[in-house]
């Protein structure tokens, strides 16, 4: 699929675009319905995303992870059209839910911590195989079950288990015991932030 993406963004190849669309259409529909969005909204979001991709094809050659870019763009389109329906924003955390009112200084410090965490995660995540990154993305960011991941990727549940387990174990070895103690509580939140921004790197 990466080859089709490269061909599409380099010369606007319609056949490559069609392959990308057919590859992701069912998958994105599955994700949208999984998140309880109405079917018509899901279809509209898919159309909007691929229309945008086609129109902006000459400006997308910097995208290194087209899978993450397409899925994240789709989710943003869904949440954007459903903000009035009390859906949680993709990139926002509701601090009021916890009765907190952070100061500007505290917010700045937190932003610095998040930036550092994202840089650290990016360093280690890019060392994983593409398939490992994709399955971790689907598990931790999209919150799909192992069975749903297996169905969406046409692989066995055992393959999903083994691939995600090996990916997590590899991350642990790469990060090291000392750093794991420091960031273990923040890693899951960091993964969510990281995956939403990885496509833009």
3-state secondary structure the chain: CHHHHHHHHHHCCHHHHHHHHHHHHHHHHHHHHHCCCCHHHHHHHHHHHHHHHHHCHHHCCCCCCHHHHHHHHHHHHHHHHCHHHCCCCCCCCCHHHHCCCCCHHHHHHHHHHHHHHHHHHHHHHCCCCHHHHHHHHHHHHCCCCHHHHHHHHCCCHHHHHHHHHHHHHHHHHHHCHHHHHHHHHHHHHHHHHHHHHHCCC
Here the tokens at position 37 are: 């969005």
Domain boundary (85, 113, 147) is at 85
* Assigned domain for 186 exists: yes
Same domain, 111 and 68: no
Same domain, 144 and 70: no
Q: Residue 118 has what pLDDT?
A: 59
Q: Which CATH number does the domain housing residue 116 bear?
A: 1.10.10.10
Q: Note the pTM of the prediction, 2 decimals.
A: 0.48
Q: Residue 117 has what pLDDT?
A: 56
Residue with tokens 């100061």: 103
- Structurally, how many domains does the chain consist of? 2
Same domain, 78 and 160: no
Q: ∠ at Cα 188 (178, 177), nearest 5°?
A: 15
Same domain, 17 and 73: yes
Q: Residue 17: which residues within 8 A CB-CB, separation 6 or more? A: 8, 53, 54, 57
10-residue mean pLDDT profile of the chain (201 residues): values are 82 87 86 84 90 89 84 84 53 34 46 56 77 82 78 85 85 63 46 48 44
Q: Residue 107 has what pLDDT?
A: 46
- In which domain, by residue range, is 68 found? 2-85
Same domain, 81 and 109: no
Same domain, 38 and 111: no
């Amino acid at each position: 699929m990466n080859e089709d993406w490269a061909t599409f963004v380099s010369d606007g190849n319609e056949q490559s675009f069609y392959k990308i669309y057919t590859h992701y259409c069912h998958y994105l529909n599955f994700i949208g319905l999984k998140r309880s969005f109405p079917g018509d909204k899901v279809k509209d979001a898919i159309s909007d995303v691929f229309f945008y991709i086609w129109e902006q094809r000459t400006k997308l050659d910097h995208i290194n992870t087209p899978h993450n870019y397409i899925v994240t763009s789709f989710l943003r389109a869904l949440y954007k059209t459903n903000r009035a329906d009390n859906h949680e924003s993709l990139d926002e955390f509701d601090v009021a839910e916890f009765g907190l009112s952070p100061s500007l200084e505290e917010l700045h410090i937190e932003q610095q911590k998040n930036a550092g965490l994202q840089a650290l995660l990016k360093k280690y995540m890019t060392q994983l195989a593409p398939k490992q990154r994709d399955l971790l993305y689907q598990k931790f960011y999209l919150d799909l079950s192992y069975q749903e991941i297996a169905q969406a990727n046409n692989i066995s549940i055992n393959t999903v288990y083994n691939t995600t387990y090996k990916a997590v174990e590899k991350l642990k070895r790469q990060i090291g015991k000392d750093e794991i103690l420091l960031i273990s509580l923040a890693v899951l939140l960091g993964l969510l932030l990281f995956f939403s921004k990885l496509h833009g790197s």
